[in-house]
Structure 1
Amino acid sequence: MLIMAISSPRIQPMHRHKVERHLGASISPLRRKHWLAKSGVLLVVIIPLVLSSTLFATELLINTFWPPAHLMRQEVFNRWISDVARVTEGRVTGRFPTSTLAPPSRQWHMVTSGIADVGIVFNGFERNRLHLSTVAELPFGTPSAEAASVALWRTYKRYFEKAEEYSGVKLLGLMTHSGGDLYSLRTAIQHVSDLEGLKIRTTDGSSSDAIETLGGVAVPSSGIGAYQLVSRGIVDGLIMPTGDMRTFNMLQYTDYAVTIPGKIYNGSFSLFMNLETWNSLSRTDQQAILSVSGETFAHHARAWDESDRLAIEEMEHRGIERSIASEPFLDELRARLAFIDDTWIREADRRGVNGRAALDYFRTEARRIATSLETLE
């Protein structure tokens, strides 16, 4: 038998609950490491000479701002965490706190300050820092969530990685949702002029710019906060992923839905790890985690596409009037919103990236991937 003294973020799962009595259940391995170092605590355990591969398992504290029932928790993160545990043979696992450790707009700070090990941020909240990844948020570039997500990762690897926008963290993946269509609560919207003066829920970023340019009043909120705006009648309409209209129970207030081919905007997200936590992992485990992240993680966005299909079925059941934007409507939208592309390109160029080439590559690749995915169905 061997007596070992351990002072490390890699705490054996069977002893973790004892440490958390002092540290709190929502403290990350990084925080535990600092606490143990400062207090001089030694965890003394008696173990066999042949050590189990799970003895030094790292349990990552993974924060998301979506509620537990949301597809990002149920379909995307649970799948990724399961993949990580599988490819590391149980040496790296993950868990969620009982509730989000920071509001949606503070996810970057939460992870970089060590409150959580892994987080995901809506890039619009960090648009000054993460400008390049917002290429996926520009109008008319989303054939599907899965296609746009995979195309975004490939565009990042080809064009954006060298710009080092993710300096200070370890980027593990990029994802988009399925893009925003136009929903109205009382008034049908068939022309740009119909938006004049209407209060429309948007996100931060290009969707707010679009609505303001079209004559509407942008009311930015998170997806979670959109329900309060709709249920209280604060807004006249919203642009939102179709699936989230169902997920957040907003179809009951909706009378009209207008599908915008390519979508009027999209939301992009970055999955990232605290750099100190990442560096504490073995090279073997790092490579294993990367093998189920990146493009593999991007493919999990198909859950958004499936959610859209379920929402469309519910809209039909509720009798919501659905239409596809007419060509004259689309032509006017494209003309009025062209400046959003131009603005993005100029800033990308300023950051040392060929903005036009990157944007063209992203859109072409997204369409190509969407076609190949349709062939597989």
Structure 2
Amino acid sequence: MMIVIPFLLLLGCGQSEQSSEGTTSEKKVRWKMASTFPGSLAQIGTLGVRLQDEVNKVSGGNINIKYFEPSALVPPLEIFDAVSTGGIDAGWSTPGYWAGKVPALQLFSSVPFGPPASEYMSWIYFGGGKDFYEELYARHNIKGILCGIIPPEASGWFREEIKGPEDLKGLKMRFFGLGAKVMEKVGVSTQLLAGGDIYPALELGTIDSTEFSMPAIDLELGFYQIAKHYYFPGWHQQSTFMELMINLEKWNSLSETQQAQIEAVCGDNIRHAISEGEAIQGPALKTLQEKGVTLHTWSPEMLSIFEKGWNEVVTELVESDEDFAKVWASLNEFRTNYKVWKELGYIK
């Protein structure tokens, strides 16, 4: 025994040293991540900051993905190209911003009259959506990872009450994604502005109205100071994915463990986003009402007009873009099959 015990102790020390060497042998990652959104903005910004912090913890400091505010590295709407070329290591955004480059990516951001978070995620992870998403980005030398999802948005801030479709005609409005194309069908002139540019444009009259996000975020941006009529539901964004974009060569240079650590944190970010996103809307709505905001819901007639416009838009996009057609067919088929369970399993 006097011989065996020291031997075992030495063996244990050797294993400990070997394990330590295995942990530290991975190349340390020090990346810069440009963001489309300010880090202080609820969810769409704070989830990116949370990603930075949690990846650092989970990796034991081995992976540092530093969050940079909009325009600190590149302008918000140029992040796609910068990540693709390797000009920056990573980006924090939502896929809908890249419609002009890859129209099909819009279907991974939000879909008018589309699925709530649970159904959307089911299609992504168990209906083939993730494969399409990763393939579309890989063509542009980008690794895309869905890394958050937020609850329904409001559908617009207006200076005057909207009593019918005629009140929309001729309005200049900031609008995002596929919903913008629908608004154009009903006579609205739309433009895409980054979050920080919206309030000044609204204040100066460059735009007449705007949509941006959910109540908790819209409250922070102060739109209520200019427009007092706030409309629901957000038919154009019933749920919206956030994403981490990484230069594909940089991603491929990581070890399997490092890749798994980043993906695990993004999965946890989605859990955090769903629970937080639902919790913070009630207090925000109460505050907005106290500030004189009138909450409106669209009439069934107006929602029908928007849905008719969406059906026209999606038909045009399917006919004009092969990738969009493939992704839309996949999502549509999944939703058709899911509908049976949705109607049977959930209280209406």
Q: Which bracket does the TM-score occupy, shorter chain normalised? A: 0.7 to 0.9
Deviation string 1:287-323 (CA, Å, 9 cap, x unpaired) is 2322333x44433433444453343122221231112
Q: Does 1:287 align with 2:260?
A: yes
Offset, 1:363: 8.3
What is the distance in 2 between the residues matched to 1:230 and 1:219? 12
Where 1:197 maps in the other structure, the secondary structure is: coil
Any residues of structure 2 matched to 1:109-120 within 5 Å, and which?
109-120=81-92
2:183 paired with 1:197: no
Distance (Å, rounded) in 2 between the aligned partners of 1:137 and 1:331: 19
Which residue is equivalent to 1:61?
32
Cα distance change on mapping 1:299 and 1:344 into 2, 3 Å = farther
Give 1:326's aligned residue.
299
CA displacement 1:343-369 (0-9 Å, x = unmatched)? 344456556726334235258769989
TM-score normalised over the length of structure 1: 0.72
**In the TM superposition, what is the alpha-carbon distance from 1:214 to its structure 2 partner?**
0.7
Pairs within 5 Å for 1:1-377: 53=23, 56-72=27-43, 75-97=46-68, 100-135=72-107, 136-143=109-116, 146-147=117-118, 150-151=121-122, 153-154=124-125, 155=127, 157=129, 160-161=132-133, 163-167=135-139, 168-173=141-146, 175-203=148-176, 205-242=177-214, 243-260=216-233, 262-263=235-236, 268-293=241-266, 295-302=267-274, 303-346=276-319, 349=322, 353=326, 355-361=328-334
- Give the TM-score normalised by the residue count of structure 2: 0.77
Unpaired runs of at least 5, structure 1: 1-49
Q: Deviations over 1:112-157 (max 9, x none)?
A: 23332221244333225433331243312154xx447635633554
Mapped to 1, the partners of 2:327 and 2:95 lie a distance apart of 20
Alpha carbons 1:152, 1:175 under 8 Å: kept: no
Contact 1:255 1:320 (C-alpha < 8 Å) held by counterparts: yes
Structure 1 residues 261 and 238, CA gap change in structure 2 (3 angstroms) = closer
Moved more, 67-76 or 245-254: 67-76
Structure 1 residues 286 and 176, CA gap change in structure 2 (3 angstroms)? closer
Query: Number of matched residues?
Result: 323
Following the alignment from structure 2 to structure 1, what is the Cα–Cα distance between the partners of residues 341 and 196? 32
Cα–Cα, structure 1 residues 132 and 60, in superposed 2: closer, same or farther, change >3 Å?
A: same
Contact 2:36–2:77 under 8 Å retained in 1: no
Provide closer, same or farther for how the CA distance between residues 368 and 128 of structure 1 changes in structure 2, counting only shifts above 3 A: farther
User: Is contact 1:63-1:120 (8 Å) kept?
Assistant: yes
Indicate the residue corresponding to 2:5 in structure 1. Answer: none
> Helix, strand or coil for the counterpart of 1:361?
helix
**Percent identity between the two aligned chains:** 17
Q: Report if aligned partners of 2:157, 2:210 keep a CA contact under 8 Å in 1.
A: yes
Q: Which of 283-292 and 69-78 deviates more?
A: 69-78
User: In the aligned structure 1, how far is the partner of 2:46 from the partner of 2:302?
Assistant: 35
The letter for the 1-side match of 2:255 is S
CA RMSD, 1 decimal: 3.7
8 Å CA contact retained: 1:163, 1:352: no
Structure 2: 5+ residue stretches without partners: 1-19
Structure 1 residues 273 and 86, CA gap change in structure 2 (3 angstroms): same
Pairwise CA distance, 1:267: 5.6
Structure 1 residue 213: deviation in Å?
Answer: 0.8
Q: Which stretch shows the higher mean deviation, 155-164 or 223-232?
A: 155-164
Go from structure 1 to structure 2 and tell me whether the alpha carbon gap of 1:110 and 1:216 turns closer, same or farther (over 3 Å shift): same
Partner of 1:16: none
Deviation at 1:191, TM superposition (A): 1.9
Change (3 A) 1:176 1:283: closer
Whole-angstrom CA distance in 1 between matches of 2:154 and 2:82: 31
Taking the aligned partners of 2:44 and 2:111, their CA distance within structure 1 comes to 25
Shift of 1:256: 0.8
Aligned partners of 2:272 and 2:106: how far apart in 1?
19
